[in-house]
Chains A and B, each alone.
Chain A
Amino acid sequence: EIVLTQSPGTLSLSPGERATLSCRASQSISSSYLAWYQQKPGQAPRLLMYGSSSRATGISDRFTGSGSGAGFTLTISRLEPEDFAVYYCQQYGSSPYTFGQGTKLEIK
């Protein structure tokens, strides 16, 4: 099973700042099967990025995904109030599919 480790666990930033979230895999994975989700309280996860760097439909270009091998990054430029949430990475190239433990992005 591929373990995904996200860092930091909590990120405290102010609106307008830039956020950098990391997702590290226990072994190399195909970037084609690496996704990022945003989840707000009481809501289902919302797909942000897939294939490591492709934005899902309707996602702002303030969100950028990058990486390859075992290291992936989600960058959010110019944080807006609605961006404060929990973010998860997921790999679905190797079964069982797995998620990272999440990064909570909170308002400083």
Chain B
Amino acid sequence: QVQLQESGPGLVKPSETLSLTCIVSGDSLNSASSYWNWIRQPPGKGLEWIGYIQYSGNTNYNPSLKSRVTMSVDTSKNHFSLKLSSVTAADTAVYYCARRTAVFRHDRFDIWGQGTMVTVSS
């Protein structure tokens, strides 16, 4: 059973860097058909895709956040990470990690973490 679990500080100060990790269990990051995504949801609002990383280190970021986002992958620890710099209150949200499995005719975001709330406040 594949599971994703987000971890990281729940409170970040304005202008600092938000850092989160997604631990993958029951699957290996070393899959060419897997894309490891970060998605966020501000309180009471909709979902925003932040970007993805593959095991090779290939990344694709949302242009709206690209200048502040860095994703990395650690295959030895089977986890991937998100860093978002220069945060403001607008970055307060629940952050989800999710796996996209890109298999012919079965391409889907099939596994999601439970989400972790990050508040930006001094």
In the assembled complex, B64 has its CB within 8 A of some CB on chain A: yes
In the assembled complex, the Cα of A71 lies from the Cα of B49 at a distance in Å of 21
In the assembled complex, the Cα of A7 lies from the Cα of B49 at a distance in Å of 21
Query: In the complex, what's the smallest C-beta–C-beta distance from B45 to chain A, in angstroms?
Result: 9
**Contact among A44, A57, A100 for B114, CB-based, below 8 A:** A44
**Contact among A56, A97, A100, A101 for B49, CB-based, below 8 A:** A97
**Contact among B48, B110, B112 for A99, CB-based, below 8 A:** B48
Interface centre among A43, A88, A95, A102 (most CB of B within 10 A): A95
How many A-B residue pairs have C-beta atoms within 8 angstroms? Tell me. Answer: 59
Judge whether A99 and B46 touch: CB under 8 Å: yes
In the assembled complex, the Cα of A44 lies from the Cα of B112 at a distance in Å of 7
Please tell me the number of chain A residues within 8 Å of chain B, measured between CB atoms. Answer: 25
Which of B16-24, B80-88, B101-109 is the contact stretch?
Answer: B101-109
Judge whether A33 and B107 touch: CB under 8 Å: yes
Q: Report chain A residues within 8 Å CB of B47.
A: 45, 88, 90, 99
Which of A20-28, A46-54, A75-83 is the contact stretch?
Answer: A46-54
Q: Report chain B residues within 8 Å CB of A51.
A: 105-108
- Chain B interface residues toward A at CB < 8 A: 46-49, 60, 62-64, 96, 100, 105-110, 112-115
